[in-house]
Structure 1
Amino acid sequence: MPITSAPGQATPGCVPRQRDQSTEDVVLAPRFQSLVLQPTTLCNLNCSYCYLSASERKTRLEMSVPVAEALAAGITERGTDVVDVVWHGGEPLTTRRDRFRALLEPFEPLRHQGRVRHFVQTNATLIDDAWCDLFHRYGFRVGVSIDGPEAANRARTDWGNRPSFDRVMRGISRLRAHDIAFSAICVVTEQTVTQPESLLEFFEDLGATSVGFNIEELEGANDDRQTIPPELVRRFWRKMFDRLDAGSPLRVREADRLLGYLADARAGGKDRWDTALHDPIPTVGTNGDVVVLSPELLGVKDDRYGDFVLGNVLGQTLAAILNRIDEASYVREYTEGARRCRQECEFFVFCQGGQASNKYFEHGDFTVTETAYCRNSKIELARALGEKMGA
């Protein structure tokens, strides 16, 4: 599932536009706010909806320390902006702990200056006291992938087809014992989309600071799943809004985004969304290769687009690589598609033009203007709230 927002950003995936830039001719921000790093390709789970191929997830390739050093140097060169460094696999915690610690050390001067914040997205099965100590030492913000109560996690098994739920809950218990706050991401499947109450109740009790609901979609190796009907998605969001309105303490990423947008619009701050620029979200593989727009493009090969790699940080600075971003055909096509979204879609200001990976994996085309992600996570969300407000 895509990383659809960078942690900590009020306007997800976007940065403010400079006032002297046209709203029509600029889509990507000249500077990134999020840097996604792949410390390892290995994953200890074999989730049936994963977009990565089984062969890739079974292979242990680990990022080298020189790659981390090059990236820290790249952040140092870019000035004083804060960068969210997001460690995302594979399963990041299958990285040998000594290696992971060595990868973090080059960023320490920046972190102590307040210029780097570490995030990790994990399945939590490997979290123990030692990992909690590492999270504390390096100031990590933790995200856990879990799909709800035990029955909702049938897709999340290990390579021996054994369920992972008990191990996930054990890892969460370690986080709570060490007073480490965590957020959650839940994949909503064709089965669980009809059970919003049980999902919401579970996350209310889990202890997460917030939850994001990713409606399952076709992506990468996950290309044989059934598309969830929009009326079921809208009902799911409507039930979520009803529960929040009834006093649920749960913070839901999607509700926060939409209600935040509406609050800004009512307060005369709609321009903050209308003029936002897309974070290019550079993603760096274990070997130092760099792709942009979507972490899901890392490792993908295509007859038309090649491997989507713009360069390698062991041979060029990150700034030099990103300075050539417009030379990539997929980036040019994505910006064309985002401009078309602006012209054609009534939801553009809230949606911001959709996710590159969804456009590619659903249509093989970055210029398309509507995807299942747009419909499920933006359009049906907004329609559900509209129905509730009009009821």
Structure 2
Amino acid sequence: MTILRAPAGAPQTIENGYFVFTLMPSLFCQYNCKHCYLSKEQRADPTTMSLDDFRTACLKIHDFYEEQRPERRVIIAYNYGGEPTSTGVDYFKGYVSVMAEVFRPEFGYEVRHVMLTSLLGVDLDVWAPVWHDLCDGYIQTSYDGEMRSSNYVRKWESKVREAISRGLKVATISVVNSDMLRMGPKSTLEYLADLGVTETGWLPFMLNEQNDVRGKYDVLAPTLSAFNDFMIELLDHWYDMKHRGLDVPEIGEAHFAVDRYRGSAQANMAGQTLFMLPDGEMVLPNYKDGWKEYLYSFGNILNAESSFRDILCSPQRLSYQRRQSTRNGNPECLHCEYKNACLLEFAKPNKPDDECFGAKRFIAHAISRNSVDPLLNDEVALY
């Protein structure tokens, strides 16, 4: 999710007015993606948060900001899931209306809606006009090579081309896996450029309940060393395509590295983000048994006695933030010159006998290349 970036001059934490409100009103999804940290039971459950409950959550957030009085109140409503289109277009319009009702401009709010969708099975006659109207004509979708199957990719490619033909800006989020290594970074970037993708985000493959069986993780997940090699070659090919005057999608992590390297520690501490589940639990990814990913709760915003401040100041979140600020106590991270720019999105132990989850070698390469060829200084519309 590192291509979700704050607008220029925006605050950098929830407390001082920048909130990536990751909405998971339903966890339902018919697909079985091997890198998903939701369980099979969660993905099969059609339970959806009611709009009344959603309004209650938004009002508690508004109460917090009325007490806090930040100069700006930037809320990025990141429509996630599950598959967010599964709740239907009327539900999406409904919670956009709730947010417009609660987070009004006269209180200083700037609200933007972004949706991450598989695109498969999505009726673009219905959804494309809504995304144009409510999401500035911009959507994100997952691309992970043929890890899901070649048939999946063919169907996905058709949907991407159709979405772009309807004037939508399409960004991709990719979890780098062994299949993408086989395709190679140059071919991958050229493929996405040919599709007309405008932006890309790249994450390492994480261990979770879905792939911690029968050795799936070991088969699918590249080493972090291989991830760095992939990203460096990807960026070098991006520079080459740029200099040849070709249309090429932006690489979110490269812009992120250059931007965050100039910024403060607060900008890279997961202090801007909370996920809200259908039952009102406010969570973030955490790690157990090393780097096995799961969702960790800070409290339930729908509890009558709980305020949003209570959740932000809960012992669980304060402990989580301390872990972020100390970089999980990883000795190689504590004094790293790139720690404010690294890709270590949520603090976790590093793998033994491998490079760090922060992709230090790639980050250093991006910053170095930009210092002599500052194409990553360009203003781009990364969300």
Q: TM-score range by the shorter chain?
A: 0.7 to 0.9
- Is 1:142 matched with 2:139? yes
How far residue 202 of structure 1 moved from its aligned partner, in angstroms, is 0.8
Structure 1 Cα separation of the partners of residues 191 and 116 of structure 2: 20
Q: CA deviation at 1:315?
A: 2.2
Greater share of residues in strand: 2
Unaligned runs of at least 5 residues, structure 1: 18-27, 263-269, 299-304, 360-367
- 1:372 Cα deviation after fit: 10
The alignment's C-alpha RMSD in Å is 3.6
Aligned partners of 2:324, 2:80: CA distance in 1, in Å? 25
Secondary structure of residue in 2 paired with 1:315: coil
SS in 2 for 1:351: coil
Judge conservation of contact 2:258–2:341 (CA < 8 Å) in 1: no
Spell out, residue by residue over 1:248-290, the C-alpha distance to the aligned partner (whole angstroms, 9 max, x if none). 333101121223356xxxxxxx3x3346463241211112121
- 8 Å CA contact retained: 1:338, 1:369: no
TM-score by length of 1: 0.74
Equivalent pair of 2:18/2:74 in contact (CA under 8 Å): no
**Structure-2 residue corresponding to 1:345:** 336
Whole-angstrom CA distance in 1 between matches of 2:249 and 2:44:
35
Where 1:93 maps in the other structure, the secondary structure is helix
> Equivalent residue for 1:118?
113
> Is the Cα contact below 8 Å between 1:121 and 1:143 reproduced in 2?
yes
Relative to structure 1, the CA distance from residue 317 to residue 5 in structure 2 (aligned partners, 3 Å threshold; closer, same or farther) is farther
Query: Contact 2:114–2:140 at 8 Å: present in 1 too?
Result: yes
Q: Distance in 2 between matches of 1:340 and 1:369?
A: 10
> What secondary structure does 1:259 align onto?
helix
Q: Are residues 1:211 and 2:209 paired?
A: no
1:375 pairs with one of 356, 359, 379? 356
Partner of 1:331: 320
My pick for the range that moved more, 48-57 or 80-89, is: 48-57
- State how far apart, in whole Å, the 1-side matches of 2:224 and 2:129 are: 43
Does the alignment pair 1:74 with 2:52? no
Between stretches 124-133 and 30-39, larger displacement belongs to: 30-39
- Write the letter of the residue equivalent to 2:264: W
Shift of the alpha carbon at 1:61?
A: 1.4
Q: 2:297 aligns with which of 282, 303, 308?
A: 308
Structure 1 residue 386: deviation in Å?
Answer: 8.0
Q: Whole-Å Cα distance in 1 between the matches of residues 37 and 295 of structure 2?
A: 18
Counterpart CA distance in 1 for 2:251 and 2:89 is 32
Amino acid paired to 1:139: C
Q: Does the alignment pair 1:50 with 2:36?
A: yes
User: 2:357, 2:121 → 1: CA distance?
Assistant: 32
CA deviation vs aligned residue, 1:334-363 (integer Å, no higher than 9, x gap):
2463384663334313228x333x62xxxx
- The corresponding residue for 1:243 is 237
Q: Percent identity between the aligned chains? A: 18
Query: Is the alpha carbon distance of 1:350 and 1:139 closer, same or farther for their aligned partners in structure 2, counting shifts above 3 Å?
Result: closer
Cα-to-partner distance string for 1:96-136 (whole Å, 9 max, x where unaligned):
33333322220123677362111111111133210112223
**What secondary structure does 2:163 align onto?**
helix
Q: TM-score, normalised by structure 2?
A: 0.75
Tell me how far apart the structure 2 counterparts of residues 240 and 308 of structure 1 sit (CA, whole Å): 36
User: C-alpha separation between the residues in 1 aligned to 2:76 and 2:306?
Assistant: 18
**Correspondence for 2:127 among 108, 124, 131:** 131
Q: How does 1:1-391 map to 2 (within 5 A)?
A: 3-4=1-2, 6-8=4-6, 15-16=11-12, 29=15, 31-77=17-63, 78-79=65-66, 80-109=72-101, 113=105, 115-127=110-122, 128-139=124-135, 141-147=138-144, 152-153=145-146, 155-156=147-148, 163-194=151-182, 195-223=184-212, 224-226=216-218, 227-248=221-242, 249-261=248-260, 270=262, 272-274=263-265, 276=267, 278=269, 279-291=271-283, 294=284, 296=285, 308-313=297-302, 315-316=304-305, 318-326=307-315, 328=317, 330-331=319-320, 334-335=323-324, 337-338=326-327, 340=329, 343-351=334-342, 354-356=344-346, 359=348, 368=349, 375-385=356-366
* 1:58-110 CA distance string (max 9 Å, x none): 22111211122123323433154110011110111111333333222201236
How many residues are paired up? 340
Shift in alpha-carbon separation, 1:310–1:5, aligned structure 2, 3 A: farther
Structure 2 unaligned blocks of 5 or more: 67-71, 243-247, 288-293, 373-383
